[in-house]
Chain A
Amino acid sequence: MRTWGSVLILVVCALLLGGCWDRTEINDLAIITAAAVDKAEESEIVLSIQVFIPRAVGGPGLGGPTGSSERALTTILSAKGENIADAMSKVQSKLPRKIFWGHCKVYLFGEAVAKDGIAGHIDFLVRHPEPRNRAYLYVSKGKAGEHLGNNSLLERSTAEALRELASLHLGMAVTLIDFRNMLNGESRAVVLPYIEAGSKLEKPAQIQENTLLLGSAIFRKDKMIGVLSTKATRGLLWLRDEIIRASISVQIPAGQGRVSVMPIRGKTKLIPAIEDGKWSILVKIEAEGDIVENGTKLDMMEMSSNALVQKAVEDDVRSRIELALYHLQKELNADVTNFAAAFHRKYPQKWHEAKQNWDKIYPQIEVSTQIHITVRRPGLVTDSVGHPGSHDKRK
């Protein structure tokens, strides 16, 4: 009996002594929803964090104000430091609650910091156990911290708004783990979405326009070297085989108007070839789309007009791809399309030899495209609304 008693006491002690040390009540956490890194004087940086204020959310009977639309849900704190960790401890000294990175889903980098290189900051984010690997990264034109000050009209915070923006797949959506993989990949080039904080507007109705997707920021190694426009970014998305949820509007000369097609699925294949020391790549795209708007006189139930639209869309996609490639190959020389990986897979031996000279090879690669777009559905109406045609029953 006595032995069992002492064993029991030991077990209870072991549990209570072994546990609890890292216990943190949710009331003692400062939940960060977004963080921004900007350049300060000399080698210092400014870390701004958007901290969520739980009291502001409170519904009825929760001790908080009920009609809390006037109160901000988040607050911003910032501090200077040598790096993120240093700045974070300085921010911590201004906060009564423990900084909690576990729900930070958006990291913003100012353009100046991005041009200096962000590998060190990324290292903190992937090494520290709290930040999420699935958090989205953005590069901001100007000061990144300014974004955090803007209130989103629909979402609870800027962070939420930016996260939703990424999930819409209109531009690049790059998470921390993607960034790391790109940086460690064959081409050592990285692309991040590039945004701009709109000028600070007083009226809430205008605030929704505050964040503008400008395109994408191109990095060689971890240093930003240039920017792609939105149009070129779409081409880049096609090349990177990423989902695009933006409609493609094309001018159809035969129909005297525009037709918009929404891509619903697509597959891009990069087929590399090396012939006589000449490196080339074939971009093969198979995609499907639905017509969402028809401003022409054409009857989309006709196969002939369908073919016209398909052709026009194919040309549009091709021109975007060519635009993107022109910037990437000729101007920036950054292989964010990851042609390097394609060559590595198909020609491992030659890739190994050419690896050192990739910067010289990449701009010389000849890219040909083979695009096939299928327009599957003409939408819910058969005729163009403005031009009742052959399907009009009253005829």
Chain B
Amino acid sequence: MNRNARKWWRAHKQRVQQQAVPSHTPLHKELAENEQQLRALYDNCSDVVFRSFRIGGSTRALVVYIDGLTNTEELERNVLSVLMKTKMPKDSAIGKLLDNVVSVSQTNELATFEDCLESVANGFPTLLIDQQECALSFGLAKWEKRPVEEPMAEGVVRGPREGFTESIQVNMALIRRIIKTPALKMEQMQIGGYTKTKVVLAYIDGIVDMDLVTEARARLNRIDIDGVLESGYIEELIEDHPASPFPQILSTERPDVTCGNLLEGRIAIIVDGTPFVMIAPATLFSLLQSSEDYYQRSIVSSAIRWLRFLFTGISFLLPSLYVALITFHQEMVPTSLLISMAASREAVPFPALVEALLMEVTFEALREAGVRLPKQIGAAISIVGALVIGQASVQAGLVSAPMVIVVAITGIASFMIPHYIAGLAIRLLRIPMMFLAGSLGLLGIMLGIIVTVIHLSTIRSLGVPYLTPIGPMKFAEWKDTLVRAPWWMMNARPHLTGDYQKIRQGANQKPGPEKGGDPA
């Protein structure tokens, strides 16, 4: 940003603030004055409702709320009707109204216009009374929201089926319902000049390294943006290495994943308006773990983890290996396989690299189209896809059958990665790898692997090296990285940064017949 732009931005911000809020202006004593101010601010806002009435038939009062964000039934029953019937106390103490008349559980006294605007915007009906310098807001917000549903992107066979929703209150409640200790802290802040999006920084006091919280808080406070529509905005503004293709912050739709990470001493950042909660710090291996690993039997989970590592490697390397072998190292392919490959490539007009690129790009296009299209058309895409990547293209002599198999396996392999975003990163790196393989053969692939490993060992997520526990060797943590040890073996928490609570559970809990319930 050049200097002019920066100057303009500063002036613009001032303008916005002046316009939006008469900041920290106290409310007037005269109701008419306040009403005029508010009506001026909400000029042309057809969804804002101003309802004037008299308390007990004498004192003038005004309720302001936004249609659709407020529970009007409750407002009528518990606020309007009771206030109209009661008499305004003479000593004009607003507290008495609260104590004796209004039966709403969550109320707030507001002294400034700014507070009033915020409470109205959040859906709380706000009551202004003549001759009072205080306004009252009632916690009667209610709007249409999606119910808690099964997460779309992170399904499990065994495990809770709750997923986060777009509402931050619901999301916080989902977490709180799992972790009931008061040590679970949820620091709230607002980000976004216009959207004023609620962002909550959650952590468990006593488990987390407080330096991590301080750092995260500082990074969040640094953000100066006009709107936050999804947690991705925040992720991009607080991550350590913006140029890396690898996600350095984990995002999840699942409360159980969030809680599991909180219990391991990580922090969670919940953003209003999105079901995706961010978890930091993240490592490469945490991207290759699924919540179900912890719910299945440990031997099964370990095997599945290995399968996942294998297929991650396949999705990264298989097309480039194929290209390298077929263009440079034909002697490394078993003879009968080479003969079959040679036979199937006989009619193909393209070099192997072009063929591979063609198929990979087509596959990516189909995948992307499948994600964006309405569900009704999805079936059409899969039919067309099966024709393009499949028998038809082989019969047409455009690609060879082994290449179709390679692309198909690679496609499946990249979907083995439980976190879609991490899968995307690896899929993206596949393309330069294919160019390296097509120009330098296996040497090029080795070169690509070396560069990738160097990059991975350079980056950090909130100070934690990305390849932990292999990058800095932490042998004790391999039990939850390369395998998934049974719970009775995982007595120590993984170490992220700084001070942390090391012991997580009682020792020697391996079940066995001698520990059985029967004392005899």
Residues of A within 8 A of B (CB): 15-16, 18-20, 22-27, 29, 31, 33, 52, 54-59, 61-64, 100, 102-103, 105, 130, 132, 156, 160
A residues near B330, Cβ cutoff 8 Å? 24, 26, 29, 31, 100, 102-103
Look across to chain A and name the residue whose beta carbon is closest to the beta carbon of B443: A19
Q: Which of B336, B338, B339, B341 counts the most A-chain CB atoms under 10 A from its CB?
A: B339
A27 contacts which of B339, B346, B440 (Cβ < 8 Å)? B346
Query: Are B338 and A31 touching (Cβ within 8 A)?
Result: yes
Interface residues of B in 324-342 (CB under 8 A from A): 326-328, 330-331, 335-336, 338-342
A95–B498 CA distance with the chains assembled, in angstroms: 70
Look across to chain B and name the residue whose beta carbon is closest to the beta carbon of A103: B335
A residues near B441, Cβ cutoff 8 Å? 19, 23
Interface residues of B in 298-355 (CB under 8 A from A): 326-328, 330-331, 335-336, 338-348, 351-352
B residues near A62, Cβ cutoff 8 Å? 343-344, 346-347, 394, 397, 401
Interface residues of B in 431-457 (CB under 8 A from A): 435-436, 438-441, 444
Query: Are A15 and B439 touching (Cβ within 8 A)?
Result: yes
Query: Are A58 and B343 touching (Cβ within 8 A)?
Result: yes
A22 contacts which of B328, B344, B395, B436 (Cβ < 8 Å)? B328
Query: Are A54 and B342 touching (Cβ within 8 A)?
Result: yes
**Chain B's nearest CB lies how many Å from the CB of A71?**
12
Q: For this complex, into which size category does the number of interface residues on chain B fall?
A: 20 to 34
A103–B439 CA distance with the chains assembled, in angstroms: 23
Query: Are A24 and B327 touching (Cβ within 8 A)?
Result: yes
Q: Quick check: is B391 within 8 A (CB to CB) of the other chain?
A: yes
Query: Are B440 and A15 touching (Cβ within 8 A)?
Result: yes
B397 contacts which of A63, A102, A103 (Cβ < 8 Å)? A63
A105/B439 contact (C-beta < 8 A), A25-B327, A57-B340 known: no
A52/B342 contact (C-beta < 8 A), A15-B440, A26-B352, A63-B397 known: yes
Look across to chain B and name the residue whose beta carbon is closest to the beta carbon of A131: B331
B346 contacts which of A16, A18, A23, A64 (Cβ < 8 Å)? A64
Query: Are B394 and A61 touching (Cβ within 8 A)?
Result: yes
B391 contacts which of A15, A61, A105 (Cβ < 8 Å)? A61
Interface secondary structure of B, over-half rule? helix
Query: Are A105 and B335 touching (Cβ within 8 A)?
Result: yes
Interface residues of B in 90-138 (CB under 8 A from A): none
A residues near B436, Cβ cutoff 8 Å? 15
**Chain B's nearest CB lies how many Å from the CB of A63?**
4
A19 contacts which of B340, B345, B439 (Cβ < 8 Å)? B439
Q: Which of A59, A64, A103 counts the most B-chain CB atoms under 10 A from its CB?
A: A103
A56–B346 CA distance with the chains assembled, in angstroms: 10
B339 contacts which of A18, A22, A24, A156 (Cβ < 8 Å)? A156
B residues near A160, Cβ cutoff 8 Å? 335-336
B residues near A27, Cβ cutoff 8 Å? 342, 345-346, 348
A175–B252 CA distance with the chains assembled, in angstroms: 58
A residues near B401, Cβ cutoff 8 Å? 62
A54–B395 CA distance with the chains assembled, in angstroms: 17
**Chain A's nearest CB lies how many Å from the CB of B161?**
45
Query: Are B346 and A103 touching (Cβ within 8 A)?
Result: no
**Chain B's nearest CB lies how many Å from the CB of A27?**
6
**Chain B's nearest CB lies how many Å from the CB of A1?**
13
A-B interface, 9 closest residue pairs, ranked by CB to CB distance from nearest: A102-B331, A19-B439, A63-B347, A57-B343, A19-B440, A54-B342, A61-B395, A54-B343, A103-B335
A132–B335 CA distance with the chains assembled, in angstroms: 12
* Additional A-B contact list (13), CB under 8 Å, known A52-B342, A54-B343: A15-B439, A16-B439, A18-B440, A23-B327, A25-B327, A27-B342, A31-B342, A54-B339, A57-B339, A59-B343, A59-B344, A156-B336, A160-B335
B residues near A23, Cβ cutoff 8 Å? 327-328, 351, 438-439, 441
A residues near B444, Cβ cutoff 8 Å? 15, 19
Query: Are A25 and B339 touching (Cβ within 8 A)?
Result: no
Q: Which of A27, A33, A160 counts the most B-chain CB atoms under 10 A from its CB?
A: A27
A26–B348 CA distance with the chains assembled, in angstroms: 11
Look across to chain A and name the residue whose beta carbon is closest to the beta carbon of B447: A15
Look across to chain A and name the residue whose beta carbon is closest to the beta carbon of B396: A61
A25/B352 contact (C-beta < 8 A), A55-B346, A63-B397 known: yes
8 pairs across A/B with beta carbons < 8 Å?
A: A15-B444, A19-B440, A31-B338, A54-B339, A55-B343, A58-B344, A62-B344, A132-B331
